[in-house]
Structure 1
Amino acid sequence: MQLKRVVVTGLGALTPIGNNIAEYWEGLKNGKSGSAPITYYDTEKFKTKFACELKDYDPNAYFNRKEARKLDRFAQYALVSSDEAIADSKLNLDALDKFRVGVIWGAGIGGLETFQNEVLNYAQGDGSPRFNPFFIPKMIADIAPGNISIKHGFMGPNYTTVSACASSANAMIDAMNTIRLGHCDVVVTGGSEAAVTIAGMGGFNAMHALSTRNDEPESASRPFDATRDGFVLGEGAGALILEEYEHAKARGAKIYAEVLGGGLSSDAYHMTAPHPDGVGVIRVMENCLRDAGMDPKDVDHINTHGTSTPLGDVAELKAISHVFGDHANNININSTKSMTGHLLGAAGAIESIASILAMEHSLVPPTINHTTVDENIDPRLNLTLNKAQEREIKVAMSNTFGFGGHNACVLFKKID
């Protein structure tokens, strides 16, 4: 069976450094930090008092009050970013066979804030189970793609992938394969997350996973730096329109990139810690290259998972050196989490978008906040530190890993 080619024809983003694709790219290329003191709740008793929240996000600009009350923030973010991607794709929705348009979305947690608030309200009441009738529909992770499909009438495959921080990368790979196999012409894919909440921050603090650099939050996310002390929690969404190549070509669509392949693997090692030798990470990149039919020497750029944790950053870079050998030193490696923080289930989507934009503009966004060399990291690797670097990029890779040992990797190619 001849697999169909898959391309990206639309992008949408809602991030801590920009509320649309244009703003997001401006933030990326200029090394903008999205980390700042938390505004959503009183942080006095919390170990970590900062995060990468969205800036100037007003739900009333996108939804009427009745609609907004029915949607958890993670679902709002999904609708906003997917609307931008659909508009960017210039698809004629009325002309589409909507049975051949799917929505495959990623979310690691879903409506955490809704769950938190309903339980707190119950605990503070008289014991009567007076729950909001929208409690369950607002909370469940699959409601995001459900709402996207309902809004636009898309009647193809519709579901959510959940693999912690690898969720949206998993969604993109499923979307790619759905089109490859001929089941859909178009799939709206990506991911969203809204975990900057009392429960989210408290839970990650209890795991000692978050940075506690409260005196300088803007520089707390510092992947590959010797003084890194944990990740910075972010929120938002990224959306991509994946389309069958001939379908896109026939309508004269702008094509950002071709999705060449995807890889999956498991560490099978620990609930939260990466394998110290990067065994699963090595395998996922090898699987991705094999699926794409590409040689390691073809890769120009890797947007790493790079969360700014002591163990994870070193393990991933060791794995890159293993897979790419001497060519690893010729690759522009970066971590855009240094700017956006870690968007959990949405990370794979917004970081893939960053890689696609880097290809389009021939500019690799920087890994910001680097001040101190880590002796455990090979100094020959080009980590694109502190300043964007001009480079023609023909093939770009995006790595995303999740608690539970989930590994996902996606490979994009520029179409001349």
Structure 2
Amino acid sequence: MTADSLVVSGWSTGSPYGLGAEVFADGVRAGRDAMTASGQGPYQRAGEIPDFDVRAILGRKGTRSMDRATAIAVATTGMLLETAGGGLAEDRPDDIGMVLGTGHGSVQSIMDFTRDSLTGEKPFHVDPARFPNTVMNRAAGQSAIWHTLRGPNATVAGGALTGLLALNYASRLLRQGHCEAVLCGAVEEYSADRAWLEYRGRQDAARRSAGPLGEGCALFLLEPRSRAESYGRSPLATLLGSRFLGYPEPEGAQQAVVRAVTEALKEAGAEPEDVSLIVPSDTGGALGGREEAALNEVFGPHRPRRLRLRRLIGDASAASAAFQLAAALCVTGPGEVALVTSVDPDGQVGCTLLRV
């Protein structure tokens, strides 16, 4: 750990517990179920942000055609910048980058716009103001514009691993000197169309094992330790390393997780016994079982605490791993090492190690 170690020095969330890091931390520590009855899509329950009104939170100007995912990301970015302190948007906008993960962008916007082009009198009889919502990088771009962040801006999509991939992308931006600090994380919205796509895209066994869907955004401020301390921010966690691998067949998921975790530990110079907390993706079903078996294989008789987040806030899809990272920050004690793992049914696994 050096003065140039990359650290998380701030974070915020918009989650099924509500808006802000504190309400998320309180809910996770209490193990409180944040899912409520839903009238949208095939699922009876969902983890939706309670009482999220775009205009009430962001105002009327510029929000008439803003989609839900973008609004959640813009609001979460604002909360993080407000609490983080100096050296950010107000006085150093050119030095601050943004890396935001997403699944498809706003599924509801894409489906609505496509539907209008097919059902209208002519294909081009659509609302042009809503077209930007159909582009995957809408949330990242609008968040940066809204809060005057003029550094590198990137959108990452990688299934359930998206939050870990965004953190890794942000770390590379910093290490290559493209900016001085990065806001990174992932966002996902809940909608009827997303719920139906998720439901129809799963096989029967996966439908039974998968829980209700969730939504929200988790964002982190990543920067060198020396920069954080120069602006009076206490580092909340040090990034020790990440590893990402693919598996061609479902049966290969277990060994892929074993290898990813083993290599991440080696890169960090850590032993399995050093890990105090594991936050797995907890997908359930056969895939979840393989993830669990892999962790048992790596850690043997050492049994770190497990924090299972999905059953509390639902399946947040692209935002899942970002919420896992946030949960790790909530419950890990000073000096402890946390491991976040993620497994995606499309054939990729990943993990990230943090020291709090």
TM-score in terms of structure 2 length = 0.92
Supply the distance in 1 between the matched residues of 2:123 and 2:229 (Cα, whole angstroms): 58
For the Cα contact (< 8 Å) 1:111–1:138, is it kept in 2? yes
Supply the distance in 2 between the matched residues of 1:96 and 1:63 (Cα, whole angstroms): 22
- 1:85-96 to 2 correspondence within 5 Å? 85-93=80-88, 96=91
C-alpha displacement of 1:135: 3.3
User: 2:239 corresponds to which residue?
Assistant: 259
Deviations 1:282-318 (A, max 9, x none): 22212322332322221110100002x3112211111
Confirm or deny that 1:399 pairs with 2:330: no
User: 1:221 corresponds to which residue?
Assistant: none
Counterpart code for 2:331: A
- 1:265-414 to 2 correspondence within 5 Å? 265-269=245-249, 274-275=250-251, 278-307=254-283, 309-327=284-302, 329=303, 331-359=304-332, 362=333, 394-414=336-356
Counterpart code for 1:297: E
C-alpha displacement of 1:140: 1.6
Counterpart code for 1:83: G
Supply the distance in 2 between the matched residues of 1:116 and 1:402 (Cα, whole angstroms): 24
- 1:239-250 to 2 correspondence within 5 Å? 239-250=219-230
- 1:6-405 to 2 correspondence within 5 Å? 6-39=6-39, 41=40, 43=41, 46=42, 48-93=43-88, 96-194=91-189, 196-208=190-202, 229-269=209-249, 274-275=250-251, 278-307=254-283, 309-327=284-302, 329=303, 331-359=304-332, 362=333, 394-405=336-347
Supply the distance in 2 between the matched residues of 1:206 and 1:37 (Cα, whole angstroms): 20
C-alpha displacement of 1:66: 4.3
Counterpart code for 2:261: M
C-alpha displacement of 1:158: 1.0
Supply the distance in 2 between the matched residues of 1:127 and 1:95 (Cα, whole angstroms): 45
Supply the distance in 1 between the matched residues of 2:204 and 2:322 (Cα, whole angstroms): 21
Supply the distance in 1 between the matched residues of 2:216 and 2:341 (Cα, whole angstroms): 18
User: 1:368 corresponds to which residue?
Assistant: none
Q: Structure 1 residues 211 and 402, CA, compared in 2 at 3 Å: closer, same or farther? A: same
Q: Structure 1 residues 284 and 212, CA, compared in 2 at 3 Å: closer, same or farther? A: closer
Deviations 1:356-379 (A, max 9, x none): 1112xx4xxxxxxxxxxxxxxxxx
For the Cα contact (< 8 Å) 2:97–2:181, is it kept in 1? yes
For the Cα contact (< 8 Å) 2:240–2:354, is it kept in 1? yes
Q: Structure 1 residues 393 and 334, CA, compared in 2 at 3 Å: closer, same or farther? A: farther
The 3-state SS of whatever aligns with 1:352 is helix
The 3-state SS of whatever aligns with 2:354 is strand
Counterpart code for 2:274: D
For the Cα contact (< 8 Å) 2:20–2:76, is it kept in 1? yes
Counterpart code for 2:35: S
For the Cα contact (< 8 Å) 2:3–2:225, is it kept in 1? no
Q: Structure 1 residues 260 and 203, CA, compared in 2 at 3 Å: closer, same or farther? A: same
Supply the distance in 2 between the matched residues of 1:63 and 1:210 (Cα, whole angstroms): 40
The 3-state SS of whatever aligns with 2:27 is helix
For the Cα contact (< 8 Å) 1:264–1:287, is it kept in 2? no
C-alpha displacement of 1:127: 3.8
The 3-state SS of whatever aligns with 1:93 is coil
C-alpha displacement of 1:99: 3.2
For the Cα contact (< 8 Å) 1:306–1:313, is it kept in 2? yes
For the Cα contact (< 8 Å) 1:282–1:322, is it kept in 2? yes
Supply the distance in 1 between the matched residues of 2:301 and 2:91 (Cα, whole angstroms): 47
C-alpha displacement of 1:247: 0.7
The 3-state SS of whatever aligns with 1:68 is coil
C-alpha displacement of 1:15: 0.7
Deviations 1:226-262 (A, max 9, x none): xx73222111110100111111112221221111111
C-alpha displacement of 1:162: 0.7
Counterpart code for 1:299: V
Structure 2 gaps, min length 5: none
Q: Structure 1 residues 36 and 393, CA, compared in 2 at 3 Å: closer, same or farther? A: farther
With 240-249 and 284-293 compared, the bigger mean Cα shift is at 284-293
Counterpart code for 1:358: V
C-alpha displacement of 1:408: 2.1
Supply the distance in 1 between the matched residues of 2:232 and 2:26 (Cα, whole angstroms): 27
Deviations 1:269-294 (A, max 9, x none): 2xxxx436512212221232233232
Count of residues in Structure 1 that have an aligned counterpart in Structure 2: 355
C-alpha displacement of 1:53: 1.5
C-alpha displacement of 1:16: 0.9
Structure 1 gaps, min length 5: 214-227, 363-391
Supply the distance in 1 between the matched residues of 2:263 and 2:122 (Cα, whole angstroms): 52
The 3-state SS of whatever aligns with 2:212 is coil
Supply the distance in 2 between the matched residues of 1:56 and 1:97 (Cα, whole angstroms): 33
C-alpha displacement of 1:212: 11
The 3-state SS of whatever aligns with 1:65 is coil
For the Cα contact (< 8 Å) 1:278–1:319, is it kept in 2? yes
Deviations 1:141-161 (A, max 9, x none): 212221222223323221111
C-alpha displacement of 1:325: 2.2
